[in-house]
Structure 1
Amino acid sequence: MSDITSKPPLLPDWVSDDIDPKVPSIARIYDYALGGSHNFSVDRELAEKSRERWPHSLHSAWTNRAFLRRAVTFCAEQGMTQFLDIGSGIPTAGNVHEILADLGVDARVVYTDIDPIAVVMSRRILADVPWATAIRGDARNLDGLVDDPDVRHMIDFSAPVAVLLVALLHYLPDSADPRRMIAQLRDRLAPGSMIAVSHMTTDEWPAQDLAEALEMGKRTSTPIVMRPVTEISAMLEGFELVAPGLVRVPQWRPEPGDDTTASYFDTVGAVGIKPA
């Protein structure tokens, strides 16, 4: 007699029991947009519906990934050797530890995500990387993340840390009070710590397009919450933003040849430093 509690044979081994393959996941949609293979048909279908409505929508994943690369590079150039990537997603391309390895930086990296597939796949690629680890954690409980023993084993919070909140905060509802969360996180960080943030904004969105995008996002396990730039800026109070400040992500310290005119859902980003 077969074990009725066993995993259905059509699901791959990286799918844990608490995954519902019928509900789209933002982490898996990003994986699909970046060319990964750890996604389901329900994720691909929603991603393609978004692309049909807004042709550049999936490219936003690449612009965020490019911003992450530039932000991590900048932080490393400022002497950062500890990186906490919150809401890191499924490791598809251009991961933080890979960026740092390419730069030749002797660093420590912790990835955290609420999506179990993101954590499972991160741990697999980190099996031979002793200076990086991945844990499952909820960004809405930043104190819990900071106090997690596995995080503490890798990160010394008495020294500066680079915290990465890239393409995360717009998946946190207003009830989570992301402004308060970041303030609490800031208070736990040592002076000289840095924060990198990107966030989708409602600014310049036509009302009908915005309503459609938000409605489409409700189909995922973590609906999107776009905010005005003024609210995003307020989340970064207490950090000194490095030039050029809070701008559209393609315009944040672009590299030669980068397209700085593209908006791609008007995501803005910034890097800040906690002053002494």
Structure 2
Amino acid sequence: MTDSTDSAPEAPAGVDTEKPSSARVYDWYLGGTQNWAVDREFGKRLEEQWPHVKPGARHNREFMNRAVRAALDAGIRQFLDLGSGVPTAGNVHEVIREELGDGPDAERATVVYVDYEAVATAHATLILERQGATGWAGHVQEDLRNPKAIFHHPTTRRLIDFDQPVCLLMMAVLHFVGPDDDPDGLVKTYRDRLAPGSWLALSQMSVGGTTGEEAEGVRNFAAQYRNTQNPVWLRDREEIERWIDGWTLLEPGVTHLPDWRPDRELTAREAKARPFAWCFVAQKP
């Protein structure tokens, strides 16, 4: 992945490129190309306040990539990605293409991306069309807090068979779900819809056991979002472990993002971002 600096990709019709988008800012954190100067400037301001944001975002994306590969190795061929943002910079359908190929004889898998932002929908539609992936990957514009609408959306019904195992991805998205939205009940609704053998791969921002300036730094970062349309809620390990509830926790258990089946060494800068999220992958019995 390479950093975008002055690139200006083609804007999908109707997308406002004068205001920052959280989906495109996250794309910039990841080194993607679907972002504009306004997104990069917003991201840089946040990075100045909390320097771990960019390596933390990449930890999250790499964890997702490893979880998707592990699910493919286990034979799962359906993926539902909640809060997906812009599907670029190493997203699910790209990992599947790398692992399974894309020729006429390639083994097939399906992906449904879900994000409520119109910006993410517009970019996703353009990207999937240009990459020729619309036959097996699609996007649903919906809030993850409305699971019934997601389950019954025509794109979901076309691409996902809930009678077969699904890998449900909840990557760095539940920290946008506050206590008034009943996150425990929401996770249970999704878990209950899945067939036995399904996986839940989940990550969540956290103070991560840090104290002093480090803990204050991540709390201040989260506070920057409290007055936006995407307020951030940090949670500790014990809160996250409730979402496993009766499922089989896969090795190595609940860990920080780069510690879940790592496949490379971290730089010193990357290692400093390690504590600020928890993750796990669990299987439905």
Bin of the TM-score, shorter chain as denominator length = 0.7 to 0.9
Question: Secondary structure at 1:83's aligned position in 2?
Answer: strand
Rounded to whole Å, the distance in 2 between the matches of 1:92 and 1:156 is 25
The answer as to 2:99 corresponding to 1:86 is no
Q: Percent identity over the alignment? A: 37
The answer as to 2:236 corresponding to 1:212 is no
Q: What is the CA deviation profile of residues 189-214 of structure 1, one whole-angstrom value per residue up to 9, with x for unaligned ones?
A: 11111010010013325353244222
Pairwise CA distance, 1:103? 0.8
Q: Give 5+ residue unaligned stretches, structure 2.
A: 1-9, 101-106
Distance 1:247 1:238, change over 3 A: same
Farther off after superposition, 141-150 or 32-41: 32-41
The answer as to 2:32 corresponding to 1:30 is no
1:49-64 equivalences under 5 Å are 49-64=45-60
Distance 1:213 1:15, change over 3 A: farther
Contact 1:28 1:38 survives alignment (8 Å): yes
Rounded to whole Å, the distance in 2 between the matches of 1:172 and 1:157 is 24
Farther off after superposition, 63-72 or 50-59: 50-59
1:95 maps to 91
The answer as to 2:163 corresponding to 1:158 is yes
Contact 2:256 2:278 survives alignment (8 Å): yes
Distance 1:27 1:264, change over 3 A: farther
Farther off after superposition, 35-44 or 49-58: 35-44
Pairwise CA distance, 1:242? 0.2
Rounded to whole Å, the distance in 2 between the matches of 1:185 and 1:212 is 31
1:174 maps to 179
Farther off after superposition, 131-140 or 120-129: 120-129
The answer as to 2:238 corresponding to 1:237 is no
Rounded to whole Å, the distance in 2 between the matches of 1:21 and 1:238 is 47
Farther off after superposition, 252-261 or 170-179: 252-261
Pairwise CA distance, 1:75? 0.6
Rounded to whole Å, the distance in 2 between the matches of 1:256 and 1:65 is 14
Pairwise CA distance, 1:36? 3.2
Farther off after superposition, 230-239 or 68-77: 230-239
Q: What is the CA deviation profile of residues 84-134 of structure 1, one whole-angstrom value per residue up to 9, with x for unaligned ones?
A: 111111123111111111111520111111111211111222222111111
- Structure 1 segments, 4+ long, off by >6 Å, are none
Rounded to whole Å, the distance in 1 between the matches of 2:37 and 2:94 is 29
The letter for the 1-side match of 2:280 is A
Contact 1:69 1:96 survives alignment (8 Å): yes
Farther off after superposition, 42-51 or 150-159: 42-51
Rounded to whole Å, the distance in 2 between the matches of 1:175 and 1:54 is 27
1:191 maps to 196
Q: 2:67 aligns with which of 61, 65, 71?
A: 71
1:16 maps to 14
Pairwise CA distance, 1:175? 1.3
Pairwise CA distance, 1:176? 1.3
The letter for the 1-side match of 2:96 is L
Pairwise CA distance, 1:256? 3.9
- Across the aligned residues of Structure 1 and Structure 2, the Cα RMSD in angstroms comes to 2.3
Contact 1:178 1:235 survives alignment (8 Å): no
TM-score after normalising by structure 2:
0.84
1:121 maps to 123
Rounded to whole Å, the distance in 2 between the matches of 1:164 and 1:98 is 15
Question: Number of residues paired by the alignment?
Answer: 263
Distance 1:169 1:244, change over 3 A: same
2:5 maps to none
The letter for the 2-side match of 1:120 is A
Pairwise CA distance, 1:174? 1.4
Rounded to whole Å, the distance in 2 between the matches of 1:170 and 1:25 is 17
Q: Give 5+ residue unaligned stretches, structure 1.
A: 1-11
Q: 2:109 aligns with which of 101, 107, 110?
A: 107
Contact 1:16 1:116 survives alignment (8 Å): no
Rounded to whole Å, the distance in 2 between the matches of 1:37 and 1:98 is 15
Contact 2:257 2:278 survives alignment (8 Å): yes
Contact 1:82 1:162 survives alignment (8 Å): yes
Pairwise CA distance, 1:55? 2.1
Rounded to whole Å, the distance in 1 between the matches of 2:99 and 2:160 is 20
